Amino acid sequence: MKRNMLCVGVDDTNHANNNQRGDLFSATFSLEQKDIIPEERKNRRYSCEVINWVDRNDYRFTQLIDDRLRRFKPLTPFFSCFLISSYLKDLKISPENIEIRIDGEIERYQEAWIKDYFRTFDCNVNVKNLVKPNKGRMSCSTVLYAADILSRYINRKLERVNFQGELGREKINELGDWFINRGLADKFVPLTDEFKSKLAEKIYS
């Protein structure tokens, strides 16, 4: 299905001190151009309004527990490619334009890598990043704000059930009703060996 524009926000938990649960990377998706327009917002850890927005739209998330790969920063730009391509394949959609908003630093070669990654999808890709302040207010798009809060929200729920180790779709459904009722297993995208191999090659080349 051809779509004019796909808007994406990507963020991670960056909990490098938790080697057993690793880092979570989340991407939120919207077909509305207004969701990439920056707005003045509070820098907060949770928002019921934002979680409701996520439920009305869509998202994907994945987990990295490989300590060797986790040492490299920033990783979020690379994981944006993995999560977005998985979403496009799942829904069988082909947007003419992809607007990507990434939390944190992004190197020039990473931006070039993202655009090259989506060349086979025959679409235009525009990438922007935001380094959020530690506190106070900030100017941030809806998709990126939602990705930030979603990553923290899922991680907090995993902390509450004291989850450690590697996630999987079956494993998520064993964690309790909250995870089952929200359909988190369907939104989780396991990392493929192919992607990890490409990532390691790019990082250490």
In the chain, where the domains are located: 2-204
pLDDT for residue 16 is more than 70:
no
Summarize the confidence of residues 172-190 as an average pLDDT.
Answer: 91
Contact partners, residue 122, CB within 8 Å, separation at least 6? 94
The DSSP string of 95-144 is: EEEEEEEEES---HHHHHHHHHHTGGGT-EEEEEEE---SSSEEEE-HHH
- How high is the pLDDT of residue 141? 94
Q: Which residue has the higher pLDDT, 14 or 28?
A: 28
In whole angstroms, give the CA distance from residue 171 to residue 152: 19
CATH class of the domain whose range is 2-204: alpha beta
Q: When comparing pLDDT for 134 and 61, which is higher?
A: 61
Residue 2: pLDDT band (50, 70, 90) is low
Span 83-140, pLDDT tens digits: 999 999 999 888 999 999 999 999 999 999 999 999 888 899 999 998 877 677 888 9
Q: Which residue has the tokens 């070669």?
A: 109
Provide, rounded to the nearest whole percent, the portion of the chain with pLDDT above 90. Answer: 54
